[in-house]
Amino acid sequence: MAQPQLFRRVLDAAHRLYLAFLPSFVRDQLQGRQQPPTKIHATTYLDGFRGVMSLLVFVRHFLLPWFPRLDHGFGQEIGDESLFQLPVIRILYSGPNVPIFLIVSGYLVSLKPINLMREGKSSLVWESLASSTFRRAFRIFPTPLFSSFIVMLLVQLGMFDYPYTSLPGHIPTHPKRLQGIIQQFLDWLRFVFYDLTNPWTWSTHLPFAYGAHLWTIPLQFRCSLVLFVTMLGLLQLSISSRTLALLSLTVFTLTHGRWDVALYLGGMGLAEYDLARRQKATVLPPSPISRDGRLIRCLSFLGWLILLGSGLYLSSFPRYRGITSATGYQWLYNLTNDYHYWHAYGATLLVCYTGHSQTSQWLFTRGWAQYLGRLSFCLYVVHEPLLHVLGYRSVELAWRLTGNDTPSMYHLGIAAGFLMTTPVLLWLADLLCYWVDRPIGNMVQWIERTSKRK
């Protein structure tokens, strides 16, 4: 009797382990659990928007090592004649992904406090700000810490021993394999304390050896703290005074080179604008459309199209800072060749347009976009280590089958490697979200509840 019971326990444990490594949607199907339909809120589309941008970050970093001219604009130098270098198309692999993360984060963080203040619930405003400030570090750092720790172990196991110098394009930052696990662990600790969680420097040129893409994590933490202090000082003002002060602060940060902080403040400004627009829509009853009303609607539609076109154009500004500008960007290039500013302006316009466009919101609230939105943070965190372990090797594996002697074969191998790596990325991001990021979120809520004064 003991042996069959032990056998059943082993089978049960193996079954649970098997389920643990399945994507969440497959696991739910096998266990007969129905996923509740996504509740569409006023900001649901932003989750999908952010998820798509996270996937495009992966696309960019996958392509960078294989295409030396990826960041060149059309006509910028001799040989820059690919149609893929044209404006708008460039956004698919070289767009303002990080600026969109920043402005959306600023928007979502500030939306609730601003809404509470508009409703006259000032006591709840300060409670909301205190809660957000307390939870921010607990929420933003643990998942990258876990990811970089796994990277440290993989480096010591030799999984990052790749001939990087053979790559024809950008050589990604990667950690060196040290003598033993103790030295590797101490090196990782230095990375954690001096790079990843260091709130005392605004430099974006730190090594970030255990995750070059993680430079945005401490940046978002610092920008969040600036935004919390800004809301603490401005939310008590009247709406007009608050808007003027916020605009002045945004210009001030831009003149000091802090385009990242300006994006968080811009997110707060967009939240203020959207709340005012929704409030106006609920107060004013719909009126019959007159001839003048039709003209105003046509002009408004044209204005929003111009805003969309401007956002796409600015978001396509080439990252490469060459001697000459790309075709169509001469005037902007003369003002500044730092793409961070133009991408920041472009991202602001795109987020503003998306908040107005029902078509864009419909697109980003589809199931596939919402799935990417749920995984967006984990997609961003896990994609770079996966490229080192699998992504670059998958391209070389594909070339063994296709060859890379001709441009078509070269591109075919890269496409095949991308198709091999992408499902693994989604699977790993799903696992990281389900087993690490989501429990961390629940733990942070528990810590906050138990730490509050009775």
Structural domain spans, the chain: 36-281+304-447
Contacts of 261 by beta carbon, 8 Å cutoff, 6+ apart: 223, 226, 253
- The rounded distance, in Å, linking the Cα atoms of 282 and 345 is 30
In the numeric block, which tokens belong to residue 412? 């075919």
- The rounded distance, in Å, linking the Cα atoms of 260 and 266 is 10
- The rounded distance, in Å, linking the Cα atoms of 34 and 258 is 45
Return left, alpha or beta for 36; rule: phi > 0 is left, psi -120 to 50 is alpha, else beta.
beta
CA separation (Å) from 325 to 122, 316, 322? 50, 13, 7
DSSP string, 271-299: HHHHHHHHHHHHHSPP----HHHHHHHHH
Interior CA angle at 288 toward 285 and 292, to 5°? 115
User: For residue 384, which of 439, 429, 420, 414 has the smallest C-alpha distance?
Assistant: 429
- The rounded distance, in Å, linking the Cα atoms of 7 and 13 is 10
DSSP string, 200-244: S---S----TT-GGGGHHHHHHHHHHHHHHHHHHHTTS-HHHHHH
Q: What is the DSSP letter of 211?
A: -
In the numeric block, which tokens belong to residue 243? 């808007």
Per-residue model confidence as pLDDT tens digits over 229-266: 999 999 999 999 999 999 999 999 999 999 999 999 99
Amino acid (1-letter code) at residue 1: M
Alpha helices in 119-180 (DSSP H): 122-140, 142-156
Provide the pLDDT for residue 398.
Answer: 96
Provide the pLDDT for residue 439.
Answer: 95
Answer for the pair 172, 64: CB distance below 8 angstroms, yes or no.
yes
Query: Which stretches in the chain have pLDDT values below 70?
Result: 1-3, 32-38, 283-292, 453-454
pLDDT over 90 percentage in the chain: 81
CA separation (Å) from 439 to 16, 109, 436? 18, 21, 6
User: For residue 254, which of 269, 242, 239 has the smallest C-alpha distance?
Assistant: 269
- The rounded distance, in Å, linking the Cα atoms of 371 and 369 is 5
Burial (Cβ within 10 Å: 0-12, 13-18, ≥19) of residue 245 = middle
In the numeric block, which tokens belong to residue 61? 């970093």
Burial (Cβ within 10 Å: 0-12, 13-18, ≥19) of residue 218 = buried
Sign of CA dihedral 106, 109, 115, 121: negative
Answer for the pair 209, 174: CB distance below 8 angstroms, yes or no.
yes
Per-residue model confidence as pLDDT tens digits over 350-402: 999 999 999 999 999 999 999 999 999 999 999 999 999 999 999 999 999 98
Contacts of 42 by beta carbon, 8 Å cutoff, 6+ apart: 274, 278
- The rounded distance, in Å, linking the Cα atoms of 254 and 439 is 37
Residue tagged 């591109």 (tokens): 411
